[in-house]
Each structure stands twice: as C-alpha cells, then as structure tokens.
Amino acid sequence: MAKGFGLSICLGILFLRGAFSKSISNGTSVENRLDILEKRINVFEKQMENMTDMFTNFPLHPVPHSQRPLFYVELTGDVTLNKNSIVKFDVKRVDVGDNFNTGDGIFIAPRSGVYLFSWTVNMYSNKNTHTELRVDNVVKGRQIMSLAAVGHLATTRNVLTKVNGGDHVWIQTGTHYTDNFLDETQNVVSSFMGIFLQEN
C-alpha cells in the first residue's frame, strides 16, 4: 500500500510540474497559471481521497486462532490392516474444536476453507503399507511403502487441499496390500494432523 501511495504522490507532483511548465512556456498570465494549478491540485486531492477510501474499505477477514480447526492424533501399538481400512488414530494430542473422532478415525471439517493435512507412517523391515488421505471418499494423497531389511523407517506426506464444511476426512489403507503394517517402536508412532489455513 505504501508503494502505491508513494507512486500516486510522485505522479501528482509530476502532473503539477508539467502543467506549470507548460503554462509558462505558452506565456500565459499569472492568474491563468494559478487557475490551472488550482484545478490540478483539486484533481490530485480527489485521487488521494479515493485511495484513502479504498484502503479504509479494503476487505480483511482474519480468522481468530480460537476458531481455526486444528488436530493432531496418534496411533498406539502395532497395527495390521486389510485393504480399504480406515486407520483409527486412538490418542488425541490436540483437537481445537473437538472435530476428530477417535472412535472411527474421522475428522469432520467445521468450516470451509484451505486445510493442510499431514500423516506419518512408521514401519518396520520387510513390511508393506499403502495409505491414502480421503476427503468425502475422494483420494487427495497417497503413500506407498515396501521395506526390505532396513530396520525402522517413518515417512510423512503433506497435502494442501480445499475442504467444504461438513466434509469427512480420514486416512485409510489402499488397494495394494492386505497386510498394511503400522509400527510403534519406543514411542515412535504413526500420526495424523490437520490445520485450517484460510477461507476459500
């Protein structure tokens, strides 16, 4: 805004200087030059008023932090899931608005907007896992892992997506494996989180 304001001032000054110089070169009287300057100043003042109104009425709709849905949940214990099974993260660490249900593993979006979702899958050697982020049963992101004898490994996938109020969001296994394994080792667990960023 400051940049645009400064540009308008510079243009206004150049405008006035141009009018004044032109009037002198044409040999007009002092009264005529003053009349031209007065008109130019009136135009410039009107432009400034319009800019002030524009900045004053600029639509800003900040969302208070207390109204920003946010959750972070974890999965305790080793879990093996068949194809197309919802991962039921059973421990809430954070749930602003109480929108995540640990009973069924589903987050219900309380408001429309852009959300950032992230889920981490912790695995172990010689295991397979295919997981998906779904919004109202539409796949928005996938992770597919198949480990050799490498020990423990955790991977994270992030997805930025639009969500409508009332949409159901969850993590489920995909169609690749019947033995999707999620591991817990020394409190290193699989997790799922979602953050409301802004309105559409």
33-71: pLDDT as tens digits: 777 777 677 766 766 676 666 556 655 556 666 678 999
Q: Which residues contact 85 (CB under 8 A, 6 or more apart)?
A: 172, 173, 180
Domain boundaries, the chain: 2-56, 65-198
For 116, the token pair is: 């950032």
Q: Which residues contact 152 (CB under 8 A, 6 or more apart)?
A: 122, 123, 124, 125, 183, 185, 188
97-126: pLDDT as tens digits: 999 999 999 999 999 999 999 999 998 878
Answer yes or no: are the C-beta atoms of 19 and 34 closer than 8 Å.
no
Percent of the chain with pLDDT over 70: 73
* Whole-number pLDDT of residue 66: 63
* Whole-number pLDDT of residue 65: 65
User: Domain 65-198 classified CATH 2.60.120.40?
Assistant: yes
* Whole-number pLDDT of residue 188: 86
140-185: pLDDT as tens digits: 999 998 887 777 888 899 999 999 999 999 999 999 999 998 988 8
Residue 116 CA to residue 97 CA, distance in Å, equals 16
* Whole-number pLDDT of residue 4: 46
Residue 159 CA to residue 162 CA, distance in Å, equals 10
Residue 34 CA to residue 38 CA, distance in Å, equals 6
67-100: pLDDT as tens digits: 789 999 999 999 999 999 999 999 999 999 999 9
Q: Which of 145, 150, 120 is nearest to 130 (CA)?
A: 145
